[in-house]
Amino acid sequence: MHLRKLGPFQVSAIGLGCMNLSHAYGAPVSAEQGERVLLSALDAGVTLFDTAALYGFGANEILVGRVLKPHRQKFTLASKCGMQGVDVNGDGKLLRVIDGRPQTIRKTCEDSLRRLQTDVIDLYYLHRWDKKVPVEDSVGALSDLVRKGHIRSIGLSEVSAATLRRAHAVHPIAAVQTEYSLWTRNPEIAVLDACKELGVAFVAFSPVARGFLCGQLQDVNTLDAKDIRRSMPRFAPDTYAANLKLLPAYQQVAQEVGCSPAQLALAWLLHRGEHIIPIPGTTSVAHLAEDLAAVDLRLSPAVMARLDALINQKNVVGSRYNAQGNSEVDTEDF
């Protein structure tokens, strides 16, 4: 497995986003299947595992902690705070809440350490910037956790270049995590270059466009009732039908290169910059192996240019988030 720099760590050029095993795309997989995927990733050379307090309202951290505890020295562990499940109404039902207050960050870290069965989290992200709290205050709380030895480095998720610079002035930021793929180009506005300038790794989540670039999802009406894509404008039936028209030419490039559509999407990201680390998620060991093989692909400048022209912010239909989701992120928008 090729390596890339992430803060003080050298990690696999492709990491594993663990969310899919417990959260967001329908019913979670069985504990046994989750264990198979995690251990297969470790065996294949993946050394960056990414989870969060939000995923499954703690269930994903519990899974990752239980399965990977015996191998803790072999990988870089990333988790997130600032967005988690809270019993707001006192009825036992957890609701997603964004809360970046220092006291909440400290409590969330304690809970995550317990669930992950570890003494230290290598990379701890602010999952969303709580706009009611100055980012300097939230990052200050994270820097206190670094000094106490509870976390080793700090990350930010879905922030703008300006917010990154404000945070970086308080404490060095190791990584920014934001959605990035051929069909989500927002990082190219400013934050991708800001990361490169500041020596910050850029971790790309949803690198295969939440499955769109795999080419296998033809009918969004087949999605699980609880699949988060049902609330995303790009996956509304009419807009998705329009976006599907982009796929045949893209699949033709994959065929010419001699790879799968998913591998082409990941290779494109890896070629966009040495500081970019994609973290695809999957519930399948076979798909995991397919994704990881993308590290060995070499794309010519001509192929990169074709891909850039085929799928980009000018021809993808629909916003990536609904109104609420857009209000919660700080990323630049076209």
pLDDT in tens, the chain (334 residues): 899 999 999 999 999 999 999 989 989 999 999 999 999 999 999 999 999 999 999 999 999 999 999 999 999 999 999 999 998 888 888 899 999 999 999 999 999 999 999 999 999 999 999 999 999 999 999 999 999 999 999 999 999 999 999 999 999 999 999 999 999 999 999 999 999 999 999 999 999 999 999 999 999 999 999 999 999 999 999 999 999 999 999 999 999 999 999 999 999 999 999 999 999 999 999 999 999 999 999 999 999 999 999 999 999 999 999 999 999 999 999 9
Pairing state between β 16-17 and 9-12: unpaired
Taken in order 229, 232, 238, 243, the sign of the CA dihedral is negative
Domains and CATH numbers, the chain: 3-328 (3.20.20.100)
Closest CA to 265 of 185, 188, 326, 202: 185
pLDDT for res 93: 87
Distant-in-sequence, close-in-space partners of 237: CB < 8 Å, separation ≥ 6: 220, 221
Q: Provide the 10 A C-beta neighbour count for residue 315.
A: 13
pLDDT on residue 271:
98
Check residue 306 and give its pLDDT. 98
The amino acid that residue 265 corresponds to is A
Taking the C-alpha atoms of residue 21 and residue 47, their distance in angstroms, rounded to an integer, is 18
Asked whether the beta carbons of 265 and 206 are under 8 A apart, the reply is no
Write the CB contacts of 163 (distance below 8 Å, at least 6 apart in sequence). 129, 135, 156, 330
Determine contact, residues 83/57, Cβ cutoff 8 Å: no
Tokens coding 281 = 């998620």
Report the C-alpha gap between 263 and 246 in whole angstroms.
17
**Euclidean distance between CA atoms 316 and 169, whole angstroms:** 35
Beta strands in 94-216 (DSSP E): 95-98, 121-126, 151-157, 173-179, 201-205
Q: Are 136 and 170 in contact (CB under 8 A)?
A: yes
Cα distance between residue 115 and residue 54, in whole Å: 12
Distances (CA, A) of 238 to 21, 113, 179: 29, 43, 23
pLDDT of residue 224: 94
- pLDDT for 321 equals 97
Q: Which two tokens stand for residue 33?
A: 């299947």
- Give CA–CA dist 64/151, Å, rounded: 17
SS3 content of the chain, % helix, strand, coil (to 5): 50, 15, 35
Task: Please give the positions annotated as active site.
Answer: 55
The confidence score (pLDDT) of residue 125 equals 98
pTM confidence score: 0.97
Q: What is the CA radius of gyration of the chain?
A: 19
Paired tokens of 138: 């939230």
Residue 276: its H or E element: strand 276-278
Q: Which amino acid is at 298?
A: R
